[in-house]
Amino acid sequence: MRGTTRRRLPSWPRWNRGDPTNAVQLFIEQGGDVGVRNRLGETPLHVAAGTGWLNAAMLLVRSGADVNARTNAGETPLHRAAAGGAADVVDHLLGNNASASARNAEKETPLHALAKAAGVRPAIAKRILGSLLGAGCNTAAKTRRSETALYYAAAAGNLAVVRELLQWGANENPKPSPLEVARQRGHRAIVRVLASTAAEYADLERAPDDDPRVQDLERREGESQKQEHTELGLSRFLANHTKDLRKARGNERKIRAAIARYLKEGSAQGMSPLELRDHFDISAPGMLDGAGFDEQASEHASAIFEQVSREVFRRRR
């Protein structure tokens, strides 16, 4: 009697065959290991994240892929998503406990990865930067060569990120100097931004407290800090309640309780019912996406949301 032939498990998703989500689905169904690595130490999640394949990334995470897995160079999927301008993937990874302050072998954070990716559209870069900083990444973090994200952005000619980092309070003149590297590389627009910022602060430091320019600067800084605190607060609020939903997944009673807490706390912070609904399951990716709910579970959770929302806001009238 001949021996039975053991079925060979797939070693890597066959990305080149149609939709990447279908490739991942087939890979998992055939018994593939979502933690498998190629010669660079990349997992399938690194590839999906860096390419911006949100659905494939979500499927991998839902199937147990390590969101903080590191390549041979120490890069996490979040480094790859930030560098690739994949804002939705960045938010999904952060919503599933990816570390915003993870360092690669060069001690670069995902913020450094974004800063040197000059091809990312300004609006997308701004969104990713806000997500990373809201999740705890530090603008002052330095690489092995003591280079900040602002230095990286100035060196790469990444004007949008330079402006956004300054808005978030990044030190405009660390060592090594972003202004100097921008001059060396001929990034004139960045030179103007950094030079005017440095000159403005140097001039105002010598001005008396009653100088209208000083008072205007203090007012603008106060407004900027208030806005920053608001954005940070919202990011943390949504991240915390997304974690609640993830823990409640598969248990209707716990899902109902998690939604009720989300609605009550959000309402207490001044969020409207429409805003709360938008973050829950309308915007992409919403909280249900971040919590790893599949299509059927999401529809059920949305129905529960409708019921609980009516109950919560009826009591408040």
Q: Would you state the structure tokens that stand for residue 302, as one six-digit string?
A: 């949305």
pLDDT band of 270, cuts 50, 70, 90: confident
Q: What is the mean pLDDT of residues 78-90?
A: 96
pLDDT of 225 strictly over 70: no
Query: Quick one: pLDDT at residue 204?
Result: 52
Please return the burial class of 286, using the count of CB atoms within 10 Å of its CB with bins 0-12, 13-18 and 19+. buried
pLDDT at residue 193 in the model: 84
Same fold yes or no, 12-99 and 111-206: yes
Predicted confidence (pLDDT) per residue in 124-177, tens digit? 999 999 999 999 999 999 999 999 999 999 999 999 999 999 988 887 667 788
Domain ranges of the chain: 12-99, 111-206, 230-315
What topology is assigned to 111-206 in CATH? 1.25.40
Lowest mean pLDDT across 115-124, 179-188, 289-298, 308-317: 308-317
CATH 1.10.3720.10 is held by the domain 12-99: no
| Three state DSSP letters for the chain | CCCCCCCCCCCCCCCCCCCHHHHHHHHHHCCCCCCCCCCCCCCHHHHHHHHCCHHHHHHHHHCCCCCCCCCCCCCCHHHHHHHCCCHHHHHHHHHCCCCCCCCCCCCCCHHHHHHCCCCCCHHHHHHHHHHHHHCCCCCCCCCCCCCCHHHHHHHHCCHHHHHHHHHCCCCCCCCCCHHHHHHHCCCHHHHHHHHHHHHHHHHHHCCCCCCHHHHHHHHHHHHHHHHHHHHHHHHHHHHHHHHHHHHHCCCHHHHHHHHHHHHHHHHHCCCCHHHHHHHHHHCCCCHHHHCCCCHHHHHHHHHHHHHHHHHHHHHCC
- The mean-pLDDT minimum among 102-106, 223-227, 267-271 falls in 223-227
pLDDT band at 200 (very low <50, low <70, confident <90, very high): low
Determine the pLDDT at residue 171. Answer: 78
Higher confidence at residue 131 or residue 209? Answer: 131
Q: How confident is the model at residue 17 (pLDDT cuts 50, 70, 90)?
A: very low
Task: State how far the Cα of 2 lies from the Cα of 252, in Å rounded to an integer.
Answer: 51
**Full-model pTM:** 0.62
- Does pLDDT of 210 surpass 80? no
Task: Return the pLDDT at 98.
Answer: 96
Portion of the chain with pLDDT greater than 70, in percent = 81
Give me the pLDDT at residue 194, please: 86
- Average pLDDT (3-28) is 66
**Mean local confidence (pLDDT), 231-254:** 84
Among 93-107, 117-131, 201-215, whose mean pLDDT is lowest? 201-215
Arithmetic mean of pLDDT, 59-69: 96
Q: pLDDT confidence of 269, banded at 50, 70, 90?
A: confident
Residue 206: pLDDT band with limits 50, 70, 90: low
